[in-house]
Amino acid sequence: MDLYDSVTEARDKLEAFRKRYNESRPHWALRPSEKADPVVPKEVYIDEAEIIIPKWQGWAKGAKTKLDKEVEHIKLQEENSLSVDQGS
C-alpha cells in the first residue's frame, strides 16, 4: 500500500505540511513574553524573535546559562589566540 501516488505528490504534501507547521501554526512554547501570544517557529529561528523559556523548562535555563558561559570562554580564547599570533 503506497501512501502517495507519486514522489512529486509526496514532496508537495510534505512541503505543504512543513510550511503550515513553521509559518502558520503558533507553538505554545514559543512566546515572546508571559502575556504575549505564541509565535510560529519561522519567527524564532529565521526572523530571530526572542522568546522566553517556559517555566517548566528550568533545565533549559541552566543549559542556556552554561552554553552562554562556554561561548564567552571560546570567544576569549580566540581573542587571546589572535593577539598572540599578531604579536609573533
Grid coordinates given for 87: 604579536
Judged by DSSP in three states, 28 sits in: coil
pTM summary value: 0.53
Over range 39-61, report the average pLDDT: 86
14-43, pLDDT tens digit by residue?
A: 999 999 999 999 998 899 988 889 999 999
**pLDDT at 88 exceeding the cut of 60:** no
